Protein backbone atom coordinates (compact mmCIF):
# COMPACT_ATOMS: atom_id res chain seq x y z
CA UNK A 1 0.00 0.00 0.00
CA UNK A 2 1.26 3.45 -0.89
CA UNK A 3 1.46 6.17 1.76
CA UNK A 4 -0.93 9.10 1.55
CA UNK A 5 0.73 12.36 0.45
CA UNK A 6 0.93 15.14 3.06
CA UNK A 7 2.24 18.05 0.96
CA UNK A 8 1.53 19.64 -2.39
CA UNK A 9 2.17 22.71 -4.49
CA UNK A 10 0.70 24.23 -7.65
CA UNK A 11 2.86 25.03 -10.64
CA UNK A 12 2.33 26.22 -14.21
CA UNK A 13 5.01 26.91 -16.82
CA UNK A 14 5.56 26.86 -20.56
CA UNK A 15 8.51 26.25 -22.85
CA UNK A 16 9.63 25.68 -26.40
CA UNK A 17 11.54 22.62 -27.61
CA UNK A 18 12.91 21.01 -30.76
CA UNK A 19 10.46 18.12 -30.39
CA UNK A 20 7.16 17.58 -28.60
CA UNK A 21 8.89 15.59 -25.88
CA UNK A 22 11.61 18.18 -25.28
CA UNK A 23 9.04 21.00 -25.19
CA UNK A 24 7.18 19.02 -22.51
CA UNK A 25 10.41 18.24 -20.64
CA UNK A 26 11.53 21.88 -20.76
CA UNK A 27 8.18 22.98 -19.29
CA UNK A 28 8.57 20.36 -16.53
CA UNK A 29 12.04 21.68 -15.72
CA UNK A 30 10.73 25.24 -15.43
CA UNK A 31 7.88 23.93 -13.25
CA UNK A 32 10.42 22.42 -10.79
CA UNK A 33 9.44 18.81 -11.52
CA UNK A 34 11.63 17.95 -14.50
CA UNK A 35 13.95 15.62 -12.61
CA UNK A 36 11.30 13.38 -11.08
CA UNK A 37 9.05 10.63 -12.46
CA UNK A 38 5.45 11.77 -12.69
CA UNK A 39 2.78 9.25 -11.81
CA UNK A 40 -0.44 10.74 -13.17
CA UNK A 41 -3.27 10.64 -10.67
CA UNK A 42 -6.87 11.72 -10.70
CA UNK A 43 -8.31 14.55 -8.77
CA UNK A 44 -8.55 14.10 -5.01
CA UNK A 45 -6.37 16.05 -2.57
CA UNK A 46 -5.87 14.02 0.62
CA UNK A 47 -7.48 15.57 3.72
CA UNK A 48 -4.15 15.95 5.55
CA UNK A 49 -2.27 17.51 2.62
CA UNK A 50 -0.92 21.03 3.18
CA UNK A 51 0.38 23.57 0.67
CA UNK A 52 4.19 23.81 0.63
CA UNK A 53 5.29 26.32 -2.05
CA UNK A 54 8.99 25.66 -1.38
CA UNK A 55 8.71 21.88 -1.56
CA UNK A 56 11.86 20.22 -2.89
CA UNK A 57 11.36 16.70 -4.23
CA UNK A 58 14.41 14.41 -4.52
CA UNK A 59 15.50 13.67 -8.12
CA UNK A 60 14.25 10.36 -9.49
CA UNK A 61 11.31 10.14 -7.08
CA UNK A 62 7.97 8.70 -8.17
CA UNK A 63 5.64 11.66 -7.70
CA UNK A 64 1.84 11.42 -7.75
CA UNK A 65 0.80 14.38 -9.92
CA UNK A 66 -2.44 15.72 -11.33
CA UNK A 67 -1.61 17.70 -14.45
CA UNK A 68 -2.79 19.15 -17.71
CA UNK A 69 -0.63 19.94 -20.71
CA UNK A 70 -0.93 20.94 -24.33
CA UNK A 71 1.67 20.94 -27.09
CA UNK A 72 1.40 22.87 -30.35
CA UNK A 73 3.55 23.28 -33.44
CA UNK A 74 1.42 26.09 -34.91
CA UNK A 75 3.46 29.32 -34.77
CA UNK A 76 1.51 32.18 -33.23
CA UNK A 77 -1.09 29.90 -31.61
CA UNK A 78 -1.99 30.66 -28.00
CA UNK A 79 -2.16 27.65 -25.69
CA UNK A 80 -2.79 27.52 -21.96
CA UNK A 81 -2.81 25.07 -19.08
CA UNK A 82 -4.29 25.43 -15.61
CA UNK A 83 -4.76 23.51 -12.39
CA UNK A 84 -6.91 24.33 -9.41
CA UNK A 85 -7.28 22.96 -5.93
CA UNK A 86 -10.64 23.30 -4.25
CA UNK A 87 -10.47 23.15 -0.48
CA UNK A 88 -13.20 22.16 1.94
CA UNK A 89 -13.27 22.68 5.70
CA UNK A 90 -14.84 19.26 6.09
CA UNK A 91 -12.39 16.80 4.54
CA UNK A 92 -10.53 16.11 1.32
CA UNK A 93 -10.06 18.58 -1.51
CA UNK A 94 -10.53 18.31 -5.24
CA UNK A 95 -7.90 18.94 -7.94
CA UNK A 96 -8.90 19.85 -11.48
CA UNK A 97 -6.68 20.22 -14.53
CA UNK A 98 -7.29 21.84 -17.91
CA UNK A 99 -5.42 22.62 -21.13
CA UNK A 100 -6.56 24.14 -24.37
CA UNK A 101 -6.19 26.65 -27.19
CA UNK A 102 -7.22 29.72 -25.22
CA UNK A 103 -5.85 32.54 -23.06
CA UNK A 104 -4.68 32.19 -19.48
CA UNK A 105 -7.71 34.19 -18.30
CA UNK A 106 -10.07 31.82 -20.13
CA UNK A 107 -8.27 28.78 -18.68
CA UNK A 108 -8.56 30.23 -15.17
CA UNK A 109 -12.31 30.77 -15.53
CA UNK A 110 -12.82 27.26 -16.94
CA UNK A 111 -10.79 25.61 -14.16
CA UNK A 112 -12.62 27.51 -11.40
CA UNK A 113 -15.98 26.45 -12.87
CA UNK A 114 -14.76 22.84 -12.92
CA UNK A 115 -13.87 22.99 -9.22
CA UNK A 116 -17.22 24.55 -8.31
CA UNK A 117 -19.03 21.81 -10.26
CA UNK A 118 -16.99 19.07 -8.56
CA UNK A 119 -17.98 20.40 -5.15
CA UNK A 120 -21.62 20.81 -6.15
CA UNK A 121 -21.69 17.22 -7.43
CA UNK A 122 -20.23 15.99 -4.13
CA UNK A 123 -22.57 18.26 -2.16
CA UNK A 124 -19.58 19.62 -0.23
CA UNK A 125 -19.06 23.22 0.86
CA UNK A 126 -16.24 24.95 -1.04
CA UNK A 127 -14.01 27.09 1.18
CA UNK A 128 -11.28 28.23 -1.20
CA UNK A 129 -9.90 27.76 -4.71
CA UNK A 130 -6.17 27.97 -5.47
CA UNK A 131 -5.19 28.31 -9.15
CA UNK A 132 -2.00 28.11 -11.20
CA UNK A 133 -2.18 28.84 -14.92
CA UNK A 134 0.09 29.70 -17.82
CA UNK A 135 -0.36 31.03 -21.35
CA UNK A 136 2.11 30.41 -24.17
CA UNK A 137 2.33 31.91 -27.65
CA UNK A 138 3.94 29.25 -29.80
CA UNK A 139 7.15 30.22 -31.59
CA UNK A 140 7.90 26.87 -33.27
CA UNK A 141 6.95 24.03 -30.94
CA UNK A 142 5.61 24.91 -27.50
CA UNK A 143 4.13 23.32 -24.43
CA UNK A 144 1.92 24.76 -21.68
CA UNK A 145 1.92 22.67 -18.51
CA UNK A 146 0.19 22.96 -15.12
CA UNK A 147 0.37 20.52 -12.23
CA UNK A 148 -0.26 19.71 -8.61
CA UNK A 149 2.57 17.44 -7.43
CA UNK A 150 1.81 15.56 -4.20
CA UNK A 151 4.50 14.52 -1.72
CA UNK A 152 5.07 12.83 1.62
Q: Annotated catalytic, 42?
A: yes
Active-site residue, from 42, 53, 89, 123 = 42
Q: Which residues pair with 79 in a beta bridge?
A: 136
CA 22 to the chain's CA centroid? 18
> Could you tell me which of 96, 10, 3, 2 has the C-alpha nearest to residue 55?
10
Delimit the domains of the chain by residue range: 7-151
CATH number for the domain running over 7-151: 3.50.20.10
Residue-level pLDDT at 77: 98
pTM above 0.85? yes
Q: Annotated catalytic, 80?
A: no
d(CA 140, CA 76): 8
In the chain, what are the helix, strand and coil shares in percent, each to the nearest 5? 20, 45, 40
From first to last of its 152 residues, the chain has per-residue pLDDT tens of 789 999 999 999 999 999 999 999 999 999 999 999 999 999 999 999 999 999 999 999 999 999 999 999 999 999 999 999 999 988 899 999 999 999 999 999 999 999 999 999 999 999 999 999 999 999 999 999 999 999 99
Q: Annotated catalytic, 14?
A: no
d(CA 124, CA 111): 18
Active-site residue, from 14, 26, 43, 69 = 43
Apex CA 43: angle with CA 48 and CA 14, to 5°? 105
Amino acid sequence: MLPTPKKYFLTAESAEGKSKLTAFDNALLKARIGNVNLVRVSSILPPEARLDEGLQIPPGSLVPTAYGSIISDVPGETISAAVAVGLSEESFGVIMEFSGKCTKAEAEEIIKAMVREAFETREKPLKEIKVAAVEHKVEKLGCAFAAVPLWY
